[in-house]
Amino acid sequence: MVTTTLSLSSVPISSLDKRIQSLENEQSSLGTQEYFVNMGPQHPSTHGVLRLVLHLDGETVKEVIPVLGYVHRGMEKKCEFIGYRQQVHLTDRLDYLCALMNNWAISHAIEKALNIELNERIQVVRTILAELQRIQSHQLWWGVFGMDLGAFTPFLYGFRDREKITAIFEDTIGARLTMNFIQPGGLMFDITSDFAQKVKEFIAYFKPILNEYDELFSGNIIVQERLRNVGILDAKTAISIGTTGPILRASGVAHDLRKLEPYGVYSQVQFDVPVGATGDCWDRYQVRMQEMRESIKIVEQLIDNIPEGKHMVMKFGAKIRVPEGVYYSEMETARGIYGNFIVADGSEKPYRLHMRTPNFNNLWSIIRMAPGLRIADLVTILSSIDIVVPDIDR
C-alpha cells in the first residue's frame, strides 16, 4: 500500500521473528530432519580408510555405525603359512606408528614360548627404543589432533619434532616407518656407537618443546572448551568395552602392563602412570601429554648405562620351532594392549595366530560416546581415541 502523506505511525517496523516467520510460511519449516551420511572411507579425519555411517538429526549425531575391513589383508591367515621368524615383519604393518613395539610384542611371545633368556643389553635397548617410539607416536597424534580441531600449527610442530626421532631410527635401524628391528632372540643388528649421544641430544631438545606444546595448545581456552566434558567414557563402560592404553587410563583405571606385569627393564626404572578423572577428551589429551614426559624420564634413566653384550642370543636365521601348546602374551603399545595368541603344533609355522589389536576394542567406544554430540565433536572424539586403521582391520 502506498500512502502519499508522511507520518511516523504509517511506517511499519518489522522484527527478526516476523522476518523468519515470513520465510517459514513461504518455504519449508526450519526444523531439522534425520538422514544418513557416510563419513569416509576416504576422509582426512578418520585417519585411514575407516567408514562411519552416521545417523544424523540436523547436525546432531544419533548413532554411529563403523564399517571396517577396507584394509583387511588376511594377516592371521598369512601367518599360518609362514614361519615364526617371518611373521615378525607383518606386525609392522598393523599399527605402523608402533612398529617396534609390535615387533617386540610378537618376539616376546615367541621368546616366552621357547624360554629364551635375553641379556641386559637387548632388554635395555628394546626398552629405550619402545619409549622413543611412544614419544614419536604421541607427537604425531598431538599434531593431527590439533589439525582435527582446526589448528594447523600443531601439525607442523608435531611433525617437525617427530622427524628428530625418525632420524635417530633411520641412522640406527635403517628404516623410518616399518622397522623390523626387534627379532625373536634379540635385535637385527647392534645399535650404532653414537646412538646414546643422539638420543641425549633429542631429549635436551624436546624437553622445553613439550612446555611449548602446552603454551601453544593445551592452555588455549578454545581448545579446553572443545575438549572438556566431550565424549565422556566412564570407567565401568571402558572396562566392559575392553579399551586399553591411554583411553582406559583417562577413564581413571591405572591399567598399564609396564607396571602390572613388567617386561623388558620396566621393573628397574621409576615412572608414573598418568590417569584421568572424568574420561573426557581433555583427560585423554592430558594422559598422552603426561606419557610423553614419563617416557622421557624412562629413557633418561637408561640411556647412560646401556650394558655391554651381544645383540642376539640366538643363532641368526635359525629356524624356530615352538613346542606344542597355546600361548598368549600381551604388551603395552602406545595405543593399548597388543596381544598375540599362538597355537603351536610343534612345527615351524603356527597352527593359528590371533592378533589382539588395541584399536579394534578402542574404536568401539565411539558407539557409546558419540550419540547426542555434534559432528565436529565426533571428529574430536575420533582423534582423541587415536586410531590406526590397519591395526583394526589386520
Partner 1 sequence: MNNSDLESYLLSLDKDLVLREKSDRVSITVPSEKLLQVMTQLRHDRALTFDMLSAHTAIDWSNENKLELIYQLYSSEHHHRIMVGVYLNREAPVTFSLCSLWQIAEWQEREVFDMFGVRYQNHPDLRRILLEDEWQGHPLLKDYKDDFMLERPW
Residues lying near partner 1 in the complex (CB under 8 A) are found at 68-69, 72, 74, 76-77, 81, 112-113, 237, 239-242, 253, 255, 260, 324-330, 337, 339, 341, 343, 351-352, 354, 356, 360-361, 364, 368, 393-394
Peptide bond connecting 154 to the previous residue in cis, omega within 30 degrees of 0: no
Torsion, Cα of 393, 165, 266, 282 (10° steps): -60
Compute how many other C-beta atoms are within 10 angstroms of the C-beta atom of residue 314: 16
Q: How far apart are CA 99 and CA 182, in angstroms?
A: 9
Q: How far is the CB of 235 from partner 1 (least distance, A)?
A: 9
Q: Which is nearer to partner 1, 69 or 307 (CB)?
A: 69
Q: Which is nearer to partner 1, 75 or 147 (CB)?
A: 75
Compute how many other C-beta atoms are within 10 angstroms of the C-beta atom of residue 74: 10
Q: Is the distance from CB of 232 to CB of 380 less than 8 angstroms? A: no
Helix (H) or strand (E) holding 225: helix 221-227
| Residues contacting residue 308 through CB under 8 Å, at least 6 positions apart | 121
Q: How far is the CB of 37 from partner 1 (least distance, A)?
A: 20
Q: Which is nearer to partner 1, 219 or 325 (CB)?
A: 325
Q: Which is nearer to partner 1, 134 or 249 (CB)?
A: 249
Q: Is the distance from CB of 178 to CB of 94 less than 8 angstroms? A: no
Burial 344-366 (b: 16+ CB within 10 A, else e): beeeebbeebebbbbbbbbbbbb
Q: Which is nearer to partner 1, 171 or 324 (CB)?
A: 324
Q: How far is the CB of 371 from partner 1 (least distance, A)?
A: 14
Q: How far is the CB of 263 from partner 1 (least distance, A)?
A: 14
Nearest CA to 146 out of 193, 76, 216 is that of 216
Q: How far apart are CA 305 and CA 128, in angstroms?
A: 11
Q: How far is the CB of 112 from partner 1 (least distance, A)?
A: 7
Q: Which is nearer to partner 1, 209 or 343 (CB)?
A: 343
Q: How far is the CB of 375 from partner 1 (least distance, A)?
A: 23
HSE-CB of 390 using CA atoms within 13 angstroms: 13
Question: Positive or negative, the Cα torsion across 285, 287, 288, 294?
Answer: positive
Q: Which is nearer to partner 1, 154 or 246 (CB)?
A: 246
Task: At 238, list the grid cell.
Answer: 571402558
Q: How far apart are CA 154 and CA 142, in angstroms?
A: 7
Q: How far is the CB of 72 from partner 1 (least distance, A)?
A: 4
Q: How far is the CB of 166 from partner 1 (least distance, A)?
A: 31
Chain center to CA of 51:
18
Q: Which is nearer to partner 1, 82 or 151 (CB)?
A: 82
Q: Which is nearer to partner 1, 138 or 394 (CB)?
A: 394
Q: How far is the CB of 332 from partner 1 (least distance, A)?
A: 13
Q: Which is nearer to partner 1, 21 or 240 (CB)?
A: 240
Chain center to CA of 32:
35
Q: How far is the CB of 239 from partner 1 (least distance, A)?
A: 5
Which segments of 242-308 does DSSP mark as H helices, in order?
246-250, 257-260, 281-303
Q: Is the distance from CB of 252 to CB of 277 less than 8 angstroms? A: yes
